Amino acid sequence: MAFLLLVDDDADLRSSLSRILCAKGHSVSEAPDAAAALAAVETQPVELVFLDLSLPDADGLKVLEDIRGAEPSLPVLILTGNSDVSTAVRAMKLGAADYLLKPFSNEELLVHLERALRESRLEREVARLRERLVRGGPPALRCQSPAMRAVYDAVERVAPTDLTVVLQGESGSGKEVVARLLHDLSLRREGPFLAVDSGALPPSLVESELFGYEKGAFTGADRQKLGQFELAAGGTLFLDEVANLPLEAQAKLLRVLQERRIRRLGGKKDLPVDVRVLAATNKDLAEEVGAGRFREDLFHRLDQFALTLPPLRDRKEDIEPLARHFLLEAGQQLGRRVADFTPEALVRLRRRPWPGNARELKNAVTRAALLADGRAVGPEHLAGGEAVLRPSKPASASALPLKQASRRAAAGAEKQSILRALSLAAGNKARAARLLRIDRKSLYNKLRRYRIKSSKM
């Protein structure tokens, strides 16, 4: 339910519309002219405005501009007669959410209202979530390198879609952090986020863990157990180290991704599942396919959208902001005050190769904070504890250069975002452009570039 403002000099129409809207549970305030309308916008918690363009004391388009100037995110629905269609179109260009031609039915009124409210609330929620993530989100958002900014630009574009995403990168490079961010920025963010370490599961337990089992399915199955796909319903399932899944489990995973249905072990019927799948690996999946360890059809099904996370040694400018973030975290974890790093310590941090990536950096900083005991962290506190493992092989030796791969990933995500916006806008290009926060000319150019057809204007 919403707080609505009706701006129209026709008292009978205001009264009639108010009764209809109040019957649907909305709160309604009325304004007979521009002065009363602007006063209401400034003093009342208005969520949407119905604005008649023919007002006695001001030009309706000027009133629209004033309302948008006072509250840029406030949706305005224009009320106009048949002869004023051209003016209504001008109002749309000035930022109106939509327009209704008089006379209109109750059904038309409510459909336009609910659509405008839905779009407005979605825009506000996305803006609020982005603000929260930038201020208090995962440490990778503090990264300054162009490579990681490209990754997070792609994340922001692909997150609202339901595409399967494969995250490639060395161990410790932050694949789960990115997966959680994809979930938090998605339309499934209110649902669960479940992570499964495919590499840590014994082969004999993989299928029962993912798909569940019925009572009596095998010795010891004394009760029904739901699998991760069912537990993640309405949310996101993150399959870490997906390359380690046994071939038999890979076949079943492929079927789930294709049909959106599972069958528990020992079950006799298929069950629908509503879940987005994200996967991660530190291996080259194409090489795994060539070696016969990974199904080619599953590889192509998972590869709807791939993101490669560069190792920390290739983005030295990210080490200092990450280290400072981990130092603050360490202070909270240890329950003690922490100082900063000395200049010598920062030099040492930048010179280390960090084969264990951000995970190794975090462990080193936590250990140093403990040893420093409230003093500034110096190089002596960072001595020892360096990983002796060789850096793992890059996720894909034959992959595209980062810049080219990022461009391809961004283009794919942009196309999906446009398709999603058109779907939400029921094919209306003007409304889709507003959802995408671009002008209509830019949208038309992108529609031609991606060869997207939409019949409605």
CATH number at residue 339: 1.10.8.60
SS3 call for 305: strand
Q: How far, in Å, CA of 364 to CA of 361, rounded?
A: 5
Residue at a domain's end among 104, 129, 154: 129
Residue 129's pLDDT is what? Answer: 55
* Residue 395 placed within a domain: no
Instruction: Please name the residue that has the structure tokens 């009342």.
Output: 44
Residue 93's pLDDT is what? Answer: 86
Helical ranges in 232-385 per DSSP H: 247-259, 285-290, 296-302, 319-334, 343-351, 357-372
DSSP 8-state code for residue 221: -
Q: How far, in Å, CA of 212 to CA of 228, rounded?
A: 7
DSSP 8-state code for residue 399: P
How many domains does the chain fold into? 4
Q: Are residues 28 and 166 in the same domain?
A: no
The first and second tokens of residue 124, run together, are 């506000």
Residue 368's pLDDT is what? Answer: 92
* Residue 455 placed within a domain: no
Q: Are residues 273 and 337 in the same domain?
A: no
pTM metric for this prediction: 0.57
SS3 call for 199: helix
pLDDT of residue 422 exceeding 90: no
Q: How far, in Å, CA of 360 to CA of 366, rounded?
A: 10
Of the given ranges (23-37, 338-352, 383-397), which has the lowest mean pLDDT? Answer: 383-397
Q: Are residues 252 and 149 in the same domain?
A: yes
Residue with the larger pLDDT of the pair 338 and 340: 340
| Interstrand relation of 48-52 and 98-102 (parallel, antiparallel or unpaired) | unpaired
The angle, 0 to 180 degrees and rounded to 10, between the axes of the packed helices 429-436 and 440-449 is 100
Residue 125's pLDDT is what? Answer: 65
Instruction: Identify the domain containing residue 23 by its residue range.
Output: 3-129
pLDDT of residue 99 exceeding 60: yes
Q: Are residues 228 and 297 in the same domain?
A: yes
The angle, 0 to 180 degrees and rounded to 10, between the axes of the packed helices 402-424 and 146-158 is 20
pLDDT of residue 282 exceeding 70: yes
- The rounded percent of the chain whose pLDDT value lies above 70 is 85
pLDDT of residue 416 exceeding 80: no
pLDDT of residue 47 exceeding 90: yes
Q: How far, in Å, CA of 194 to CA of 185, rounded?
A: 15
Q: Are residues 245 and 338 in the same domain?
A: no
Residue 127's pLDDT is what? Answer: 60
Helical ranges in 71-205 per DSSP H: 85-93, 106-136, 146-158, 175-184
Residue 389's pLDDT is what? Answer: 40
Local confidence band at 37 (pLDDT 50, 70, 90 cut-offs):
very high
Residue 120's pLDDT is what? Answer: 84
- For the segment 124-167, what is each residue's pLDDT rounded down to a tens digit? 765 665 555 544 455 555 577 888 888 888 888 899 889 999 99
- For the segment 377-406, what is each residue's pLDDT rounded down to a tens digit? 999 998 765 544 444 444 343 344 544 544
Residue at a domain's end among 129, 152, 186: 129
Residue with the larger pLDDT of the pair 396 and 209: 209
Residue 399's pLDDT is what? Answer: 42
Q: Which of 146, 145, 198 is nearest to 176 (CA)?
A: 198
H/E stretch holding 169 reads none
Q: Are residues 182 and 269 in the same domain?
A: yes
